[in-house]
Amino acid sequence: DSGVTQTPKHLITATGQRVTLRCSPRSGDLSVYWYQQSLDQGLQFLIQYYNGEERAKGNILERFSAQQFPDLHSELNLSSLELGDSALYFCASSPTGGGYTFGSGTRLTVV
């Protein structure tokens, strides 16, 4: 157990739907990062939050959004889902920067 908790572990949904992925960071970690890993692809950085505020944005689609709550957990919202959104979504946390600890991921399948 890395200390970073992601729920759910698996999610199957239909095209056009909306889902929410949840991440609880390690105790004391202020930064939360979201990454997407598609088939045969590396880890693509989506977005980072630090202590409730957006810190950096990567290749995140406009259909996707995220937020970090006062208790530091984070949610990644994916809407108008397409088949190509099927992927592993990882959350990582760190105290300030670098030294990531990853969760075990949410596998999203869009059918």
Nearest approach in angstroms of CB 6 to other proteins is 8
Q: Which is nearer to other proteins, 22 or 100 (CB)?
A: 100
What distance in Å separates the CA atoms of residue 35 and residue 66, rounded to the nearest whole number?
A: 12
**By the rule CB under 8 A, 30 interacts with other proteins:** no
> What is the spatial distance between Cα 93 and Cα 103, in angstroms, rounded to a whole number?
8
Candidate segments 14-22, 62-70, 75-83, 99-107, binder of other proteins by CB under 8 A: 99-107
Phi, psi at 2, each rounded to 5° = -80, -20
Q: Is the CB of 79 or the CB of 100 nearer to other proteins? A: 100
**Shortest CA distance to 105 belongs to which of 37, 28, 31?**
37
Which secondary structure element, helix H or strand E, spans residue 54, and what is its range? strand 53-57
Lay out the site mask for other proteins across 32-51 (x = CB under 8 A, - = otherwise): -x-x----xxxxxx--x-x-
Q: Which two tokens stand for residue 11?
A: 């999610």
The reply on whether position 22 binds other proteins by CB under 8 A is: no
Contact 42, 90 (CB under 8 A): no
Residues at the interface with other proteins (CB under 8 A):
2, 4, 31, 33, 35, 40-45, 48, 50, 55-56, 58, 90, 92, 96-105
